[in-house]
Amino acid sequence: MCPRTTSLPYQGTPTPAYSTVTETPVITTSGLTKVYRSRGREVTALDGVDLHVREGEVYGVIGQSGAGKSSLIRCVNLLERPTAGTVTVAGQDLTALAGRGPRAGKELRQARSRIGMVFQHFNLLSTRTVQDNVELPLEILGKNGRERSRKALELLDLVGLADQAKAYPAQLSGGQKQRVGIARALAGDPKVLLSDEATSALDPETTRSILQLLRDLNRQLDLTVLLITHEMDVVKSICDSAALMENGRIVESGTVSELLATPGSELAAALFPVGGEATGEDRTVVDVTFQGEAATQPVVSQLSRTYNIDISILGAAIDTVGGLQVGRMRIELPGRYEDNVVPIGFLREQGLQIDVVGESQLVKEGAK
Amino acid sequence: MTWSEMQPLLEQACWDTLYMVGWSTLIAVVGGLPLGVLLVLTDRGGLLQNVVANKVIGQVVNVARSMPFIILMVALMGFTRSITGTTIGREAAIVPLAIGAIPFFARLVETAVREVDGGLVEAVQSMGGNTWTIVRKVLVPESLPSLIASTTTTIVALIGYSAMAGTVGAGGLGDIAIRYGYQRFETQLMWITVAILAVVISLIQFAGDYAARSLHSRGGQSGPAPKLRLLKASTADTKTV
């Protein structure tokens, strides 16, 4: 396996359409609980989190600040000791390696060196050049000077920063710093990359290019990426699977298409916010979610012709999520729900996912 | 006193001061640096959290720092004799100077190391680095500009302390100022000594600031313009002499 010897163009190249996801679990947490105690007060940051990240996928954990995302990702490489539960990465039970006491033993440190991590604020050493920053993990691994500089330059080339090797972090832009952070995280040839809000300190343009880089690395190096974020756009643009965290619990999780196929999924609604209110009392508002094949079928005109009804479109969004073309449309049918059972049945028969708005409040308004 | 009488006196005094301050600074840095780092590491939430050790080290440092130098010098006489074989002269003065400066420098190191961004420590931990790696590759290099500034402050303080070393016959500029200038009413000599001290301290401060700044600005961080604090710093610092 030597995909790293070839340089990877990092911008403007279409991502290969194949997916590297397999069914092998790479990161598994079960019953992960973290309780912080300070001055007699207890704060539960993680409350029995079960996470399953499959090999080769980009898995996004989304939630608001304080939801426990940060604790979760820090528990995966045991920067935080979980209060209870287990963490298994690449078949290795890290919680068993941790031992007692706050200090990391040799085995845990070795395991950590095989898990890359990138940070929101990059965490580059300001007194080292870009190249020396990338060499740092290799120094820790005990590699000799020539090997270190060869590997570091190769990685900088991979992230598109070969010409900045001798620069200091302060001379780089935010996006460039994060590229250095990513190169550094890859130095130990990890199979798993943890990304702690890696794009949250970046502008939208730079965010896109960093996400694209992560996506490319995921494809080219078979790298499994676990990322936490509070930006729905991040999940939308690169994640194969996602989980929604609230109050230390995972409230929804699954592949993007599974989520979209789940009636009333908060994540799905947030990925495709469609607006629009019913124009009158005797109207039925229906959210239609398209995926894959169905996305190209002219269902609206078929419906209109078959039942001879007028359909107004209140809102619509079509996008590509994790390489899947998906869309959501909010349409309005004349008459109450009882009058529209047949047309709605027709839509369901087309393999579309139908959520009737107002009926048991399936689509949560305002979810972002 | 004529200049030809003063000159050899002053020359000798300069060398004595340099000798004492040079050696005691070296020892203070060697001793104070690990002590300061330990103060940070053993603190609550530190990498080697050990509340008892932290309290003990902290108390020892506090007691040593609160002792007036002249008392410390007398109190340490037995210890000084066991090391240098004598309690008078330049070598004998180095022992209390160094011992007095170690806790002083340790506190400054502690402050400097605390300033290092915890994220950097976390980053190295995530790479599998151990505590020693973190100290060597993160805490010390990242706080180096502050550590250099701390060393400058320590040198200036030691020049102040060294004036009192004259009481154990160690010589030095401060000693000349007291014995000749003050006690023998050689006002002219006293002012010359004070002027030399002012220049020496200014030069040290300037060199220290320059070194700290040039390290800090590595990588293009543009801080505020270098402060030319020749006069201000020297008048403030010579008060201790």
Q: What is the pLDDT of residue B182?
A: 81
Q: What is the pLDDT of residue A64?
A: 87
Neighbour-count burial of B59, counting CB atoms closer than 10 A to its CB (0-12 exposed, 13-18 middle, 19+ buried) = exposed
What letter would DSSP give residue B44? T
Q: How confident is the model at residue A366 (pLDDT cuts 50, 70, 90)?
A: very low
Q: What is the mean pLDDT of residues A308-319?
A: 83
Q: What is the mean pLDDT of residues A116-143?
A: 94
The neighbouring-strand residues paired with A193 are A116, A225
CATH (domain of B161): 1.10.3720.10
* Residues A79, B119: C-beta atoms closer than 8 Å: no
Name every chain B residue with its beta carbon within 8 A of the beta carbon of A77.
126
Name every chain A residue with its beta carbon within 8 A of the beta carbon of B142.
125-127
Domains of chain A, earliest start first: 3-114+190-260 (3.40.50.300), 272-356 (3.30.70.260)
Q: How confident is the model at residue A177 (pLDDT cuts 50, 70, 90)?
A: very high
A337 at interface of B, judged by CB pairs closer than 8 A = no
Neighbour-count burial of B9, counting CB atoms closer than 10 A to its CB (0-12 exposed, 13-18 middle, 19+ buried) = middle
Q: What is the pLDDT of residue A169?
A: 93
- Distance of alpha carbon A3 from alpha carbon A24, whole angstroms: 21
- Distance of alpha carbon A351 from alpha carbon A349, whole angstroms: 5
Q: What is the pLDDT of residue B113?
A: 96
pLDDT cut 90: percent of chain A above it: 47
pLDDT cut 70: percent of chain B above it: 90
- Distance of alpha carbon A321 from alpha carbon A254, whole angstroms: 13
The DSSP H or E segment spanning A38 is strand A25-38
User: In terms of CA atoms, which chain A residue is nearest residue B46?
Assistant: A102
Q: What is the mean pLDDT of chain A?
A: 84
Mapped onto helix, strand or coil, the DSSP state of residue A138 is helix
* Residues B124, A126: C-beta atoms closer than 8 Å: no
Q: Range of B128's domain?
A: 3-238
Q: What is the distance of C-alpha B58 from the center of its chain?
A: 18
| Nearest alpha carbon to residue B173 among B162, B184, B182, B183 | B162
| Nearest alpha carbon to residue A58 among A188, A195, A204, A172 | A195
Q: Is the pLDDT of residue B65 over 50?
A: yes
Those residues with Cβ within 8 angstroms of residue B116's Cβ, 6 or more apart along the chain or in another chain: B138, B139, B142, B143
Name every chain B residue with its beta carbon within 8 A of the beta carbon of A121.
117, 119
- Residue A12, phi-psi category: left (phi > 0), alpha (psi -120 to 50), beta (remainder): left
What would the pLDDT profile of B21-42 be if each residue is shown by its tens digit?
999 999 999 999 999 999 999 9
| Of A65-69, A76-80, A285-289, B217-221, minimum mean pLDDT range | B217-221
A86 at interface of B, judged by CB pairs closer than 8 A = no
Name every chain B residue with its beta carbon within 8 A of the beta carbon of A79.
122, 125-126
- Residue A34, phi-psi category: left (phi > 0), alpha (psi -120 to 50), beta (remainder): beta
Q: Is the pLDDT of residue A12 over 70?
A: no
B117 at interface of A, judged by CB pairs closer than 8 A = yes
- Distance of alpha carbon A143 from alpha carbon A124, whole angstroms: 20
Name every chain A residue with its beta carbon within 8 A of the beta carbon of B127.
112-113, 136-137, 140, 184, 187-188
Q: Is the pLDDT of residue A17 over 70?
A: no
| Of A17-31, A255-269, B30-44, B213-227, minimum mean pLDDT range | B213-227
User: In terms of CA atoms, which chain A residue is nearest residue B138?
Assistant: A125
Those residues with Cβ within 8 angstroms of residue A224's Cβ, 6 or more apart along the chain or in another chain: A26, A27, A53, A54, A55, A56, A57, A58, A59, A191, A192, A193, A218
B126 at interface of A, judged by CB pairs closer than 8 A = yes
B45 at interface of A, judged by CB pairs closer than 8 A = no
Number of domains forming the structure of chain B: 1
Q: How confident is the model at residue A296 (pLDDT cuts 50, 70, 90)?
A: low
Q: What is the pLDDT of residue A294?
A: 65
Q: Is the pLDDT of residue B211 over 70?
A: yes
Per-residue buried b or exposed e for B94-122, using 16+ beta carbons within 10 Å of the residue's own CB: bbbbbbbbbbbbbbbbbebbbebeeebbb
Model pTM score: 0.80
Q: What is the pLDDT of residue A359?
A: 56
What would the pLDDT profile of B177-200 be if each residue is shown by its tens digit?
888 888 888 888 888 888 999 999
